Structure 1
Amino acid sequence: MNVANDESKLRLLQQSLKQAITEKNSPRIAATVEQILNITPADVGLHQLLGEVFPVLSTKEDARQQFQALVDKCPYAYSSRLVLARYHERAGDIEQAFRHYLIAVKTANLKGFWLNQLSTAPWARPFVAHAMSFIEQQRQLQVRQWLEPLQHQFGEQAMTRVRKAMLMYSGELPLVKCDHRQAPTFLYIPDLPTAPVFDRNVLPFAEQYEAAFSDIKDEMLSVLNCRSQFKPFQQDKYGDSLTAGGDWDAYFFHRHGNTYYESHQQCPKTSSALEALPLVHIKAHAPEVCFSLMTPSAHILPHRGVTNSRAVLHFGLEIPTDCRLNLCDVTEVQWQEGKIFAFDDTYLHEAWNRSCQNRVVLLADIWNPYLEQEEQLAIAQLIENIGVFGELTAAVAREDI
């Protein structure tokens, strides 16, 4: 940011505003105020001035065109865009209304406004409340449109849990969890049996998978010899590491819907064993499959997973003493070499390696064993839809910010 240039620009805009006020030129006042607020966003008086000039501007016959011209000139002008959206809504142009409401709200939020009553100018509060309600209604309508063909394809009874999950996701139904200790960060599937750690008898692939232990461990040790092939596993949404004391690294086979073909080529027997698992394949989302390495003294801090539609499967490969997975306030699980277990990571959980050796497991996202195949297919499609919708709305918001 060039402070000198901003100060110079601000002085010119302030002079222009004085002249526009003298001339009672409402379009020019609004446009100039929006430009000044982009430099000095916390000027309460200017926010109030917008609230005073908008009703005057709105009496013009070509008001919508004037607001459109204003946001074309000042894409960041979230207050003016809020009013423009209202015009589109009244004209029955729902798509454009949704687009402008969404951009207005996201832009204001990014600048620290419209987050609550205190961060919203008094004149804008009813408009913002209406915009939020409109956006929510459109999202709920979109979810119902996604559900309709799936209910037709699989039958309403088979989609009972999925439908309820999506209506809770959209906010149309309140979020009611079977176990209050679960707290997915994205999507909750209701009415599944409560299982922080899944019984082995619901994992029919267990013995076949464990039979590949020696081959998988040999391949793991081979790639571990080239330590650079392991990358830091994860950071939280703020960019902070989820690990203290030591490192949590991974050698990926799948991640975010991407396949790491070189890893499969380097570890063909592991790759073959993975093919027999009910992995969660969702475009651009899942599965996450890797050799998960915790170095000595590593502590993976408490965190939660995104959805209980999956289970996280662990296969113990190299397990020293003093290593644990702790489902906070539920139970502790100790890895065993050559053995698997699966747990629901929407429960708060942490892990530690208090030994002086590496701990390595083969980690994989599988479907929650209690989901029927029709539900798996529907959930995969719906999550893809949500992802595409999210990308589109983010792109719309970025388009003019």
Structure 2
Amino acid sequence: MSFRDVSEYPFVEVFEENWEKIRDEYLRIKNKMMAWPETNLYNKGWESFGIYDFPYGREVPFAAMCSFTRDLIRDHIPNHGVAGFSRLSAGTELQPHEGYQGNFLRMHLGLIIPEGDVALRSLDEVRRWEEGTVFIFDDRLEHEAWNRTEEDRVILLIDFVPEDEDF
């Protein structure tokens, strides 16, 4: 099973309730995004701004620039790993790949989602991001993502270890 039922994760509600404040923090740092390090996975335009590092989830020095989001993660997902903003520029395609093979699930919260063909495929299922909405999937399974629109797609990405799940 790739995508998970978000109702099983109580922290989802607080992130969906605060998505506009989280988006506002992104807007303040949007010019500080850095290229995603795995450049072999994409054709262009995948950038991130880390709040917590990979894979340990330690606060990064510039996390204070997003203190509201940092604190929400710290206070509501104590078993998180990497967390931060992820932006796919217009026309960006991520190749099919498998993520880090640790005990993490990955949460995406839609912050800026353009109209059109912008989605993530995991195994045989495709999900389109929606502003203010979370989906959770198993990043260890094959997945790919694309933004075939003329505008940027921005999400908050958080890895976490589920408390009541066997891996």
Task: Quote the residue 1:327 is aligned against.
Answer: 122
Gaps of 5+ in 1: 1-194, 282-286, 376-401
**Where in structure 1 do 4 or more consecutive aligned residues deviate above 6 Å?**
none
Instruction: Name the residue aligned to 2:62.
Output: 262
Match of 2:158 in 1: 364
Secondary structure of the residue aligned to 2:62 is: helix
Report the 3-state secondary structure (helix = DSSP H, G, I; strand = E; otherwise coil) of the residue aligned with 2:40. coil
- The answer as to whether partners of 2:19 and 2:111 remain within 8 angstroms in 1 is yes
Amino acid aligned to 2:119: R
TM-score by length of 1: 0.39
User: Which structure is higher in helix share?
Assistant: 1
2:40 is the alignment partner of 1:250: no
- Cα gap change, 1:199 to 1:211, in 2 (>3 Å): same
Report the equivalent of 2:33: 230
Q: TM-score, normalization: structure 2? A: 0.90
2: CA distance between counterparts of 1:249 and 1:273? 22
Letter aligned with residue 371 of structure 1: E
Alignment-mate amino acid for residue 273 of structure 1: L
Shift of 1:260: 1.3
Q: Which has the larger radius of gyration?
A: 1
Q: Deviations over 1:71-116 (max 9, x none)?
A: xxxxxxxxxxxxxxxxxxxxxxxxxxxxxxxxxxxxxxxxxxxxxx
Q: Which residue of 1 aligns with 2:84?
A: 290
Shift in CA distance, 358/202, structure 1 to aligned 2, threshold 3 Å: same
1:339-358 correspondence to structure 2 within 5 Å: 339-358=133-152
> What amino acid sits opposite 1:200 in the alignment?
V
1:196 aligns with 2:2: yes
Identity fraction in percent = 27
Query: Whole-Å Cα distance in 1 between the matches of residues 107 and 91 of structure 2?
Result: 23
Larger relative contact order (CA 8 Å, sep ≥ 6): 2
> Which segments of 5 or more consecutive residues in structure 2 lack a partner in the other structure?
none
User: What are the Cα deviations for residues 50-80 of structure 1, in whole angstroms up to 9, with x where unaligned?
Assistant: xxxxxxxxxxxxxxxxxxxxxxxxxxxxxxx
1:202 and 1:223 mapped to 2: Cα distance? 31
For the residues of structure 1 that align with 2:162 and 2:136, how far apart are their CA atoms? 9
CA distance in structure 2 between the partners assigned to 1:292 and 1:280 by the alignment: 20
Q: Deviations over 1:340-365 (max 9, x none)?
A: 11100121000000011110000011
CA contact (8 A) 2:110 2:133 kept: yes
| CA 1:320–1:361: 2 relative to 1, 3 Å | same
Cα 1:262–1:306 change in 2 (3 A) is closer
Letter in 2 for 1:312: R
Q: How does 1:63-82 map to 2 (within 5 A)?
A: none
1:234 is aligned with what amino acid? Answer: P
- Deviation digits for residues 215-269 of structure 1, max 9, x if unmatched? 1111111111xx2x1111131xxxx52111x310000011133421322x11121
Contact preservation (8 Å) 1:308, 1:368? no
Q: CA deviation at 1:279?
A: 4.7
Counterparts of 2:163 and 2:130, CA distance in 1: 21
- The answer for the alignment partner of 1:109 in structure 2 is none
For residue 28 of structure 2, what is the amino acid of its counterpart?
Answer: S
Does the C-alpha gap of structure 1 residues 369 and 196 become closer, same or farther in structure 2, counting only changes over 3 Å?
Answer: farther
What's the counterpart of residue 275 of structure 1?
74
8 Å CA contact 2:25, 2:69 repeated in 1: yes
Distance apart, 1:273 and its partner CA: 1.4
Match of 2:21 in 1: 215
Residues 279, 293 of structure 1: alpha-carbon distance in 2 compared, 3 angstrom cutoff:
farther
Write the deviation string for residues 157-196 of structure 1: whole angstroms up to 9, x where unpaired: xxxxxxxxxxxxxxxxxxxxxxxxxxxxxxxxxxxxxx31
Give distance in 2, aligned partners of 1:247 and 1:309.
Answer: 28
